Structure 1
C-alpha cells in the first residue's frame, strides 16, 4: 500500500475497529480498551500511518497552528525571540509556521495572507512597524494577533516589549555623565515608531535632563547592517561625536570596527552602547556595553498572551512591558 495514501480509514479497516476508535488511540484518549489500543497501534506501525495534523484540524475546526512573522530571520535579535515563542508553543501543543517578511511592504502582505489562508489560530508579528495595510489585514482576518519586539502606538494590538524610551534615556544619560557632550544616536528607519518615536524620545529626554541642545547632525538613520555601521566613522567624526548609542548590535559592531580601523581608541576616545545584548556583544573586542532586553522572555510572554487570546481567557493587560537592564562591558568607561 502506498504510504502517501494511507488514511485513518485504512487503519480502521485493517484493525477491524471504527474510525472513531483509531482517532481516540491517536489522540491519547483513555476511553479505549488496552487490547484494542495495542491492536490499533500495531496496525499503525505496520502501515506506517502518519496522522495528518491539518486534516485533524479541519475535523476539530482548530489547526492548533500559530503563524510567526519575522522581518529578518538572520538577525540574532529575532532568532532569540523566536526561541521563546517556540518553547511556549510546544508546551501548549501549538505548531509554528515561521515566515520571513524581509521588511518589505508587498511581501509582508503576501506572507500575512498566505498564513491566514493556512487557517492559523493566531499570529505573532515581529515586523518593525505596523503599516495601515498590515493593520487592515489584521482586522479583516479576525485572528488574534500579538506583537513581539514591535510597538503599536495606538495600543489596539496586544504587544510585549521593554520601555524603549526609558532604556534609551538611561544609557544616553550614562554616556553624557561619562563626559561626552556630543552623543550620536545611530538608528534604523526613523519611520518605525520604536526608533523615531520611543528611542529618539528617550535620547532627547537625556539631553534635556543634562541641559544639552538637541543637534540633528548627531542623529544617523541607516540600515541594520555591519557594513552600514562601518561606513559611518567619517560622518561621526565630522559631527564631533565622542560616543554613540546604537540600536542594533550588528550595526554597533560595524561602528566600533570602523572607528578602530581608523586608529580611534575605544573606549578612550569613543564610547559605544548598543541595544539588544545578543551574543555579538561578547564576541568582539572590546566587548560592547548594552541594554539587556529579556529577548527569550519577550517571545515566551507574547506566545502565552496569544494562547490566552486564542482560548478566550481573561486578559488583564494586553500591552506588556518587561524589565530591562544595562550590562557594562569594555566599550564604555567603567
Structure 2
C-alpha cells in the first residue's frame, strides 16, 4: 500500500500541515524539520497526489516546451539543457512539436493552457502577431528561446544573430572572396533566422560588395534547402567563391550539391554554417560554423521561467549569450 501524507507526518514526528509546507516549499519550516520530513518521504517512498495538489495550489509543476522541428539536430541540445534544470527543481516537461505549422502552434498553446502548465518555453519558426496575442490572451507565463519579439515584451534567451552572421560573412570576405552566396530561411518573417540574412547584407556592404539577388536562396533550415539552393544559384550565376548558410544542415546539403557538380570545398568554394550541431564536427569536410551555446540557452531559459512562475525576480529579462566562430576544414586556411 502506498504511503500517505499522514504516514510521512507520523514518521517525521510532525503535523500533516508541516509536511504540506515542505512539499510546497514554504519558507516558514526550519531546516532541521525540513530534513526530517524529506528523510521520511525518501524512506517511505512517498509520492504526492499531483492532481489533488494542483487543484489546491493551481500549480502542476509542469513546463510546456514548444519547438518547430523535432527532427532538427539543433533543438535536442536546447531541450537537454531545459530538462537538466527542470529535474533539479522537480518540474516535469511536456514537449510539443509544431512542424513549423502556425495553426498547430496555436492549438498546442491552447492545449498547454488546458493542461494547466505553469509556464511555456517557446521556440518557433514564426513570431506572428496572432501567436503573441494568443499567448497574452491565454495568460501563459512564457520565455522565448533562440528568438525574441520585436518589442521585447516577452523574456528571451538568444544570441545576437545579426552580429553572428555579420562576423561569419566578414570572415569570408576577408579571405578575398567576392561572390558570397547565401542560403537561409525566409527573410520576411520575424525570427532569429531572418536576422542572419540582415547580417549577411550588412557585411557585404561593409566589404564594398554588391548584394546580388542571384546569389541568394530562401527556404527551410534543412539539408534539402541547401542542395536545391546551390542548384538554383548556379543556374543564374556561373560560379561562386564562398557560401554562408543559415544552418549547418543547409551547409551540408549545399556541400553535397557542390560535390555532385565536381566543385570542391574548400579548394573552390569556402562554406560557413550556423549552429555547430554535433554532425558539423564529423561531416566531410568538417564544417566551419557559428557556434551557439545550445545547452546554455535551454538551461538559462528554464531557470528564468521557473523564477517567473514562482514570482521571483529575474536578473535580466533579455539574455543575449555569446557565440563563437569555429574554424574547421570547409574554408581555406
> TM-score range with shorter-chain normalisation?
0.7 to 0.9
Q: Secondary structure at the match of 2:249?
A: helix
Structure 2 residue aligned with 1:166? 163
Runs of 4+ in 1 over 6 A off after TM superposition: 9-12, 32-35
Query: In structure 2, how many angstroms separate the alpha carbons of the residues matched to 1:247 and 1:105?
Result: 21
Structure 2 residue aligned with 1:333? 332
Structure 2 unmatched ranges of 5 or more: none
For residues 246-305 of structure 1, give each alpha carbon's deviation from its aligned partner in whole angstroms, at most 9, with x where no partner exists: 111112111111111221110011111001000111121110100011111111111111
Q: Would the alpha carbon gap of residues 41 and 22 (structure 1) be closer, same or farther in structure 2, given more than 3 Å must change?
A: farther
TM-score normalised according to structure 2 size: 0.86
Q: Would the alpha carbon gap of residues 32 and 135 (structure 1) be closer, same or farther in structure 2, given more than 3 Å must change?
A: closer
CA RMSD, 1 decimal: 3.0
2:45 pairs with 1:53: no
Structure 1 residue aligned with 2:297? 298
Q: Secondary structure at the match of 2:59?
A: coil
> Is the 1:166–1:202 Cα contact (8 Å) retained in structure 2?
yes
Query: In structure 2, how many angstroms separate the alpha carbons of the residues matched to 1:9 and 1:311?
Result: 24
Query: In structure 1, how many angstroms separate the alpha carbons of the residues matched to 2:309 and 2:298?
Result: 16
Q: How many residues matched?
A: 322
> Is the 2:68–2:99 Cα contact (8 Å) retained in structure 1?
yes
TM-score normalised according to structure 1 size: 0.86
Structure 2 residue aligned with 1:91? 88
> Is the 2:60–2:118 Cα contact (8 Å) retained in structure 1?
yes
Query: In structure 2, how many angstroms separate the alpha carbons of the residues matched to 1:279 and 1:83?
Result: 14
Q: Would the alpha carbon gap of residues 218 and 196 (structure 1) be closer, same or farther in structure 2, given more than 3 Å must change?
A: farther
Shift of 1:198: 1.9
Q: Secondary structure at the match of 1:275?
A: strand
- Superposed, 1:118-133 pairs within 5 Å as 118-133=115-130
Q: Would the alpha carbon gap of residues 284 and 34 (structure 1) be closer, same or farther in structure 2, given more than 3 Å must change?
A: closer
Query: In structure 2, how many angstroms separate the alpha carbons of the residues matched to 1:298 and 1:41?
Result: 33
Query: In structure 1, how many angstroms separate the alpha carbons of the residues matched to 2:312 and 2:21?
Result: 29
Query: In structure 2, how many angstroms separate the alpha carbons of the residues matched to 1:34 and 1:251?
Result: 55
2:16 pairs with 1:20: yes
Shift of 1:197: 4.7
> Is the 2:63–2:91 Cα contact (8 Å) retained in structure 1?
yes
Structure 1 residue aligned with 2:322? 323
Query: In structure 2, how many angstroms separate the alpha carbons of the residues matched to 1:34 and 1:322?
Result: 41
> Is the 2:127–2:191 Cα contact (8 Å) retained in structure 1?
no
> Is the 1:167–1:291 Cα contact (8 Å) retained in structure 2?
yes
Query: In structure 2, how many angstroms separate the alpha carbons of the residues matched to 1:122 and 1:213?
Result: 45
Q: Secondary structure at the match of 2:127?
A: coil
Structure 2 residue aligned with 1:273? 272
Query: In structure 2, how many angstroms separate the alpha carbons of the residues matched to 1:312 and 1:50?
Result: 25
Q: Secondary structure at the match of 2:191?
A: helix
Query: In structure 1, how many angstroms separate the alpha carbons of the residues matched to 2:59 and 2:216?
Result: 48
Structure 1 unmatched ranges of 5 or more: none
Q: Would the alpha carbon gap of residues 197 and 277 (structure 1) be closer, same or farther in structure 2, given more than 3 Å must change?
A: closer
Q: Secondary structure at the match of 1:290?
A: strand
- Correspondent of 2:203 among 192, 197, 206: 206
- Correspondent of 2:62 among 54, 62, 65: 65
> Is the 1:246–1:273 Cα contact (8 Å) retained in structure 2?
yes
Q: Secondary structure at the match of 1:232?
A: helix
Query: In structure 1, how many angstroms separate the alpha carbons of the residues matched to 2:14 and 2:204?
Result: 73
Query: In structure 2, how many angstroms separate the alpha carbons of the residues matched to 1:23 and 1:9?
Result: 7
